[in-house]
Amino acid sequence: MRLFNVLFEWKAALYEKKIAKMQAQGKCPDCNGIGANPLIMHEFAYIDRYDCPGCNGSGLFSDWAKVNGRHS
């Protein structure tokens, strides 16, 4: 299916663009530098903060790059 390939490449290109942008700002692309996963932040989340698995909760691009095996 050609359409799926185009969609996949478009998404991958968007993701790479975001990574480049976050790298320039020194922020983790997964949590935008917050250090916590925003998807988990609902009314019950105040009990304990859910650290972002991409950067181990630091919100730094350098940590994200280490975890994901990328060179910064």
For residue 55, which phi and psi values (nearest 5 degrees)? -125, 10
Minimum CB distance to Zn ion, residue 52 (Å): 3
DSSP state at residue 35: S
Minimum CB distance to Zn ion, residue 3 (Å): 32
Q: Does 22 bind Zn ion (CB under 5 A)?
A: no
Q: Assess contact for 31 and 19: CB atoms under 8 A.
A: no
Judged by DSSP in three states, 72 sits in: coil
Interface with Zn ion (CB under 5 A), residue from 30, 47, 60, 72: 30
Q: Does 63 bind Zn ion (CB under 5 A)?
A: no
Interface with Zn ion (CB under 5 A), residue from 52, 61, 69, 72: 52
Q: How far apart are CA 22 and CA 34, in angstroms?
A: 12
Q: Which residues bind Zn ion (CB under 5 A)?
A: 28, 30-31, 52, 54-55
